[in-house]
């Protein structure tokens, strides 16, 4: 398949947006290869009502409008979304690049908050999260409905198998996503022969590793 027929989607992480540093980096690098990047904003129409189901529906609609099979670059929760989408949308997705994917996201013991805070979230109906999608830092707190948590438990990214060739990049100093969980996800057999993982001496954002990541991603996306 020629490169000009391939569409690249960047799927941003939780409390992030299409304006993140990594989106800008990959957009710039892929533009030099004459490949455009589509970055859906999963905060729309409002962050308060975001759920994984809504994110999958939004991506489904955008994939349907794409000119050819897509490459998904997913960061953190966006990586979770990419895994689920690869299994659901089949041939519409050509390959995956996962950056610190939150593979354990559907497990209550590996979620956004400790159990006691989740109990408060349920009691209040909403929980305010620092959101990084409105500038270069956590510029405001935005409420998110408890429905997000309930909906997330429907999805088991760790147990999801998919056939598409996949590169995973994971920092060993990541305090949000456990690198050992991601390594177990990538190396579990026999269903993960399509997955290659690279462990990096970096944190969750992987910013300092972007040039190294790009060296692997460039031929993988353009071949």
Report pLDDT digits (tens) over 89-126: 989 999 999 999 999 987 877 778 888 999 999 999 99
pLDDT for the residue numbered 106: 79
- Which residue in this structure is represented by tokens 């579990």? 188
pLDDT for the residue numbered 134: 57
Q: How confident is the model at residue 2 (pLDDT cuts 50, 70, 90)?
A: very low
- In the chain, the N- to C-terminal Cα span, in Å, equals 8
Q: C-alpha 46: how far from its chain's center?
A: 19
Over residues 124-145, the mean pLDDT reads 81
- Say if 151 falls within a structural domain: no
Coarse DSSP helix, strand, coil percentages of the chain, rounded to the nearest 5 percent = 40, 20, 40
pLDDT at 37 over 70: yes
If you ran DSSP here, which 8-state letter would residue 129 be given?
E
pLDDT for the residue numbered 107: 81
pLDDT for the residue numbered 4: 47
- How many distinct structural domains can be found in the chain? 1
- Say if 90 falls within a structural domain: yes
Question: What SS3 class is residue 55?
Answer: helix
pLDDT for the residue numbered 190: 79
In percent, how much of the chain has pLDDT > 90?
82
pLDDT for the residue numbered 139: 66
pTM of the complete model: 0.94
- Say if 41 falls within a structural domain: yes
- Say if 113 falls within a structural domain: no
Q: Which domain holds residue 21?
A: 3-104+156-222
Cis bond before residue 5 (omega within 30° of 0) = no
pLDDT at 25 over 60: yes
Mean of the per-residue pLDDT values of the chain: 92
- Say if 114 falls within a structural domain: no
**Residue 35: which CATH number?**
3.40.50.1820
- Say if 130 falls within a structural domain: no
Q: How confident is the model at residue 182 (pLDDT cuts 50, 70, 90)?
A: very high
Q: How confident is the model at residue 191 (pLDDT cuts 50, 70, 90)?
A: confident
- Say if 38 falls within a structural domain: yes
Q: Are strands 195-200 and 37-38 parallel, antiparallel or unpaired?
A: unpaired
pLDDT at 137 over 60: no
Helix (H) or strand (E) holding 120: helix 115-124
Beta bridge mates, 74: 11, 98
pLDDT for the residue numbered 5: 58
Q: How confident is the model at residue 156 (pLDDT cuts 50, 70, 90)?
A: very high
Q: Give all strands (DSSP E) within 78-215, no chain letters.
A: 93-99, 126-131, 140-145, 166-171, 195-200
pLDDT for the residue numbered 1: 37
- Say if 111 falls within a structural domain: no
In percent, how much of the chain has pLDDT > 70?
94
């Amino acid at each position: 398949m020629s490169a000009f027929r391939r569409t690249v989607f960047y799927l941003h992480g939780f409390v992030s947006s299409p304006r993140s540093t990594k989106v800008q980096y990959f957009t710039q690098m892929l533009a030099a290869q004459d490949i455009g990047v589509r970055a859906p904003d999963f905060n729309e129409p409002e962050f308060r009502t975001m759920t994984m189901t809504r994110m999958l529906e939004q991506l489904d609609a955008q994939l349907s409008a794409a000119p050819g099979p897509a490459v998904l670059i997913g960061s953190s929760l966006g990586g979770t979304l990419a895994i689920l989408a690869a299994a659901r949308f089949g041939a519409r997705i050509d390959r995956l690049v996962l950056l610190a994917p939150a593979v354990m996201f559907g497990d209550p013991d590996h979620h956004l908050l400790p159990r006691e805070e989740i109990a408060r979230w349920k009691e209040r109906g909403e929980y305010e999260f620092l959101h990084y999608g409105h500038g270069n830092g956590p510029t405001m707190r935005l409420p998110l409905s408890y429905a997000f948590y309930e909906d997330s438990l429907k999805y088991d990214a760790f147990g999801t198998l998919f056939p598409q060739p996949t590169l995973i990049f994971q920092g060993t100093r990541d305090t949000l996503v456990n690198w050992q969980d991601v390594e177990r996800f990538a190396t579990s057999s026999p269903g993960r022969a399509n997955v290659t993982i690279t462990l990096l001496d970096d944190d969750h954002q992987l910013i300092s590793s972007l040039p190294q990541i790009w060296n692997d991603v460039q031929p993988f996306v353009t071949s």
